[in-house]
Amino acid sequence: MPSQSLKASSPDKRLADIFDLEDGLQSGYEALAELIHNHDRFLVVAHVGPDGDAIGSTLGLCHLLWGLGKQAVPFNADPVPFNFAFFDGADRFVQALAPEDAFDVTIVLDCAEPGRVGESFPPNGWGAHIAVVDHHLTWDPDFASLYVRDTNAAAVGEMIFRLALTLGARLDRATAECCYTSLMTDTGGFRYGKTSTTTFLIASHLLTHGVDPWRINSHVYENEPLSRMRLLARVLDTLDVSACGRLAFVRVDGEMLAQTGATSNMLDGFINYARQIKGVEVATQLRQIDQGSYKVSFRSSGAINVAALAEAFGGGGHHNAAGCVIAGDAPTIQAQLADRLSALLS
């Protein structure tokens, strides 16, 4: 039954101070707020291989829902990466559901395609209503019943913050930490192109709710397991830069993981070492999934739209960050991608 007693207050007046309410998006936030008001049981899920934005926005939204007295389950097919386990409530993530579990609403974050939540996503995870909150260029328009999409948002954590203000919900420290971490990680420490005045306005507001930037930075960036550092050394040893100096490739295979004792959720950020090389315009990371396929990640310095490239291989993402899965062996895939990228660069 819909909740009748636990309603949020009117939308926060700070909405207009921080966001452009003429951007045509506010009606979507209000529709999502109404969906939240009218239902009680929520499953919140983001893409597999979760990063800081996926974990932070999932848990941030769950904290909002819990604060409204709702039942909310944070789900991801993959474990919470080691450097985000410090979040309050991180231990409430689940990777499987009981057969009797049922939900009124499934909210999908940081992706807008059903396949991105993972092959192991259980059928009973889909609620009677499906809502998407995302900032990527690629999406499936026939997937959900409600979309809130802002391709200009620096992170989905920014969108969760706007939803909180729309709901008039109380923003506690735990929620603020999740939103701040989403912003910090998806902007590369407030360095990437989508870092805007809005991003800094949100970040400054979150600091007033108990966020300690040094504490979060320490957990996310300065809490490295020795096995990850050993894996990074192996990955950098695979670094290959094209003759023109504009393309860089790194590779991660199963043998490296086994030899170092590292796990696949320790790879976040490795590709950026390749992109940081002077003159490199596109960095590509190949991560072995099995003997016959690789997950491919792209990072662009801005000139090349790697989302379009990823779409050509069945993937998607942002202009500057995208990915896909390609069948084949590493040398063949790298040669194929080098040809495609060289054509784009020319």
Looking at residue 263, which CATH number applies to its domain? Answer: 3.10.310.30
Does residue 118 sit in the same domain as residue 264? no
Could you tell me if residue 340 is inside a domain?
A: yes
Does residue 90 sit in the same domain as residue 206? yes
Last residue of a domain, one of 206, 221, 236: 221
pLDDT in tens, 325-342: 999 999 999 999 999 999
Does residue 168 sit in the same domain as residue 277? no
Does residue 212 sit in the same domain as residue 275? no
Could you tell me if residue 5 is inside a domain?
A: no
Could you tell me if residue 3 is inside a domain?
A: no
Could you tell me if residue 6 is inside a domain?
A: no
CA angle 63/66/67 to nearest 5° reads 85
Could you tell me if residue 7 is inside a domain?
A: no
pLDDT at 318: 84
pLDDT at 9: 56
Last residue of a domain, one of 191, 221, 251: 221
b/e code 43-75 from CB counts within 10 Å (16+ = b):
bbbbbbbbbbbbbbbbbbbbbbbbbbebebbbb
Does residue 217 sit in the same domain as residue 235? no
Residue 4 pLDDT greater than 60, yes or no? no
Looking at residue 138, which CATH number applies to its domain? Answer: 3.90.1640.10
Does residue 125 sit in the same domain as residue 150? yes
Does residue 86 sit in the same domain as residue 183? yes
What is the rounded average pLDDT for all residues in the chain? 93
Does residue 211 sit in the same domain as residue 259? no
Domain with 199, as residue range(s), is: 15-221
Q: Are 256 and 236 in contact (CB under 8 A)?
A: no
Q: Which residues contact 207 (CB under 8 A, 6 or more apart)?
A: 180, 213
Does residue 281 sit in the same domain as residue 208? no
Could you tell me if residue 4 is inside a domain?
A: no
How many domains are there within the chain? Answer: 2
Does residue 212 sit in the same domain as residue 245? no
Q: Which residues contact 311 (CB under 8 A, 6 or more apart)?
A: 138, 322, 324
Does residue 21 sit in the same domain as residue 166? yes
Three-state DSSP at 183 gives helix
User: Who wins on pLDDT, 137 or 278?
Assistant: 278
* Percent above pLDDT 90 for the chain: 85
Does residue 336 sit in the same domain as residue 241? yes
pLDDT in tens, 260-293: 999 988 998 999 999 999 999 999 999 999 999 9
pLDDT in tens, 195-239: 999 999 999 999 999 999 999 999 999 999 999 999 999 999 999
pLDDT in tens, 54-77: 999 999 999 999 999 999 999 999
Residue 252 pLDDT greater than 60, yes or no? yes
Last residue of a domain, one of 221, 252, 270: 221
Could you tell me if residue 40 is inside a domain?
A: yes
Structure tokens at 218: 């320490």
